[in-house]
Amino acid sequence: MGDTMLAEERWQQEAVARSKRLYRFRRVLYKRGYHTISGIDEAGRGPLAGPVVAAAVILPPGVAPFGLNDSKQLTQIRREKLYSKIQEEAVAIGVGMAEPQEIDSMNIHKATLAAMYRAVAALSPLPDFCLVDGRFAIPGLSSPQRAIVAGDSRSDVVAAASIIAKVTRDRLLVELDSTYPLYGFAKHKGYPTKQHLQALKEYGPCPIHRYSYAPVRLAGLDATLARGDSHKDRTG
């Protein structure tokens, strides 16, 4: 019990220090006259199945009190707790998605930017400045923006967006697991794990797979050949 309490106390101290550090981008922007500053991030570029999900979050001015961090650095339990806190405390939250068919037609880079644009468009109020995770600006935004490499570990609003996007997508893949139970989506969330690749090999792709991704495309071809029909792909 003592060790657990010490670990939690240490985590709280680190969280407070990190929160102050992650606030610096917003602090500068508030001094420049901006008021509704949004962070934008995505989840799901790498999976073989499911949508890419983006989130946009506007937090109230001041250091966020709940220990934000890049969602990839958090345990699932902490992500879920922070997700709830962000939902309670945020001024506005927007979520946007690009479905597998869009990813296949426009490529994952363009689909990710489209999902980010939709997330911002879903905000009310709309932001007067956007902090975007990554190296690329979002095409078509009416507000000024800045792309920040590793923004989810450098800005609190981007970290908040990363948590909303990650938890939203994970929950969606758990729901899709009941529709497509052969693939184990609830466990691996569509990422190319050994289990997922084996299921693709055995059953071929399902409608939520990304056919432009090589493992899916090859699995679809193998499934077609296994049916003895090399001229027509019925997997999609």
Domain boundaries, the chain: 2-177, 183-226
Q: Cα 129 to the chain's mean position, in Å?
A: 20
Residue pair 158/56 in contact by the 8 Å Cβ criterion: no
**pTM of the shown model:** 0.89
* pLDDT of res. 236: 39
User: For the residues 4-24, what does the mean pLDDT come to?
Assistant: 78
135-187 residue pLDDT tens: 999 999 999 999 999 999 999 999 999 999 999 999 999 999 999 999 999 99
* pLDDT of res. 8: 65
Range list of H helices, the chain: 2-22, 24-31, 76-89, 100-106, 108-121, 156-179, 185-188, 194-203, 214-226
Helix (H, G, I), strand (E, B) or coil at 163: helix
Cα 141 to Cα 195: distance, rounded to the nearest angstrom: 40
* pLDDT of res. 92: 98
43 falls in which pLDDT band (50, 70, 90)? Answer: very high
Picking from 7-11, 87-91, 159-163, which range would have the lowest pLDDT averaged per residue? Answer: 7-11
* pLDDT of res. 154: 95
196 falls in which pLDDT band (50, 70, 90)? Answer: very high
Looking at domain 2-177, its CATH superfamily turns out to be Ribonuclease H-like superfamily/Ribonuclease H (3.30.420.10)
Cα 9 to Cα 217: distance, rounded to the nearest angstrom: 49
Tokens (6 digits) for 84:
């709830």
